[in-house]
Amino acid sequence: MLTKYFTQDWIDIIGQENLISLISDINTSLRQERLDNPDVLPPAGSSLLFQAFRETPYNSLKVCVLGQDPYHDNSFNGLAFGNGVPNEPAVTKISPSLRAILNEVKSLYGETPHPSLYEWAKQGVLLINTAHSVIKGKAGSHIPLWSKFTKAVISAINSKDKVVWLLWGSNAHAYADQISNTSHVIIKSGHPSPLNRSNPFSGSACFSECDSALMKMGKTPILWA
């Protein structure tokens, strides 16, 4: 069952029994939740669940982008902040947060990536949220449900040397204390949401800062654009 959702290296590093236990508990809660509220996203049986872990195997991980939860308007595509499907010629619906991300990349590199962000994932950028489900229209509604799973994932990544973390917004910043590996680099920025006016994402230059950190680690920079 696990290999349907995770590459083998993720299963090995988190631990098969631990992962089964965590997911079993979450599934029990989600089944009950769906009885009371049919608007849980992604829908039951969705192939998008844990997609980020399949697109970016543990062994290829270089950068971790930590978001909050799937887009609660049902535009979630399997990767945190992404919209649309890979190679889609024209993604018609781009979420405001993603628009800010694309604009920041363009300001640094003169071009924008495909909105699906799957090209980032292929280069070792893990795009995950701190919750992998959400009630439609209620951002942050399932964060407590996924807390133990998220801690297990962060612990697994923490055991890997030389990873750059892009923590966007106060929710992501709160996980910084769990990252203790001294070979890691943590880059904090404001959340790309247009509702964030106190610590704007625009102008943060987090992508170029990430590349500088990767080069200092002896790793290839990410082709963000």
In residues, how long is the chain? 225
Facing residues of 40 across strands?
135
For strand 134-135 and strand 40-41, is the pairing parallel, antiparallel, or unpaired?
antiparallel
Facing residues of 63 across strands?
125, 164
From the candidates 36, 39, 69, 177, give the one annotated as an active-site residue: 69
Exposed, middle or buried by CB within 10 Å (0-12, 13-18, 19+), for 175? middle
Q: Which residue has the tokens 């308007």?
A: 73
Q: Nearest 5°: phi and psi at 168?
A: -110, 110
C-alpha closest to that of 155 among 177, 122, 125, 133? 177
Q: Is 39 a catalytic residue?
A: no
Q: Which residue has the tokens 């399949």?
A: 54
100 to 23, 81, 144, 155, 156: CA distances (angstroms): 33, 10, 27, 29, 30
Catalytic amino acids? 69
